[in-house]
Amino acid sequence: MVDFIKLVENILEEQGKTKQDLFENNVVSENTFYKYRQRYPSIKTVVKIANYLNVSLDYLFEFSSENHFIEYNVNNLNFYNNLTSMIDSNKISYRKFCKDLGYAKDNILRWKSGIQPTILRVLEIANYFGCSIDDLLR
C-alpha cells in the first residue's frame, strides 16, 4: 500500500507548507487525513488535495518526476470514457481486463453509471496499461 500521508507530506515540505495548512484551509480535516494510514482517500479527496498543492496526480503518486499540473474538475472526471478507450486501443476484451485485474464485471457497470473507482483501482489500472493516472481521469 502506498503511504499516501508520506506522499502528501513530501510535497508539503517541498512547498514550505505543513499538514496544518491543509486542515486550516479546509482541504481535509485532521481526523480524516490520519485515517489514510489504514485506507486510501476517495478520488474526490485526492483531487482536492492535488488542486490545493497545484500538483498532478502523477506527480503526487510519484508516477512522474515532473509536475504537469492542470486543475482537476472533480465533477467532470472522464474515467469511464478513458478506460474504455484504453481497453479498446489495447485490443483486449472487458472480460480479459476484469480477469487480469481480478475485478468483478459489475465494477465496469458502476463506473459507466458515473460512480468513481477508488484511487487504489485507478493506480492498479494505470500500472496495468502502463499509462499515467491523468490519462485515466482527464
Residue 83 confidence (pLDDT)? 96
CA distance 112 to 80: 6
Instruction: Using alpha carbons, select from 46, 55, 44, 63 the residue that is nearest to residue 116.
Output: 44
User: Is pTM, for the whole model, over 0.75?
Assistant: yes
Q: pLDDT 10s per residue in the chain (138 long)?
A: 579 999 999 999 999 999 999 999 999 999 999 999 999 999 999 999 999 999 999 999 999 999 999 999 877 778 999 999 999 999 999 999 999 999 999 999 999 998 999 999 999 999 999 999 999 988
Which three cell numbers, joined as nine digits, stand for 59? Answer: 506527480
pLDDT of res. 1: 55
Arithmetic mean of pLDDT over the chain: 94
pLDDT score, position 2: 72
What pLDDT is recorded for position 74?
Answer: 75
- pLDDT for 75 equals 73
d(CA 70, CA 73): 10
Give the three-state DSSP class for 43.
helix
- What residue ranges define each of the domains in the chain, with the CATH number in brackets? 4-60 (1.10.260), 74-137 (1.10.260.40)
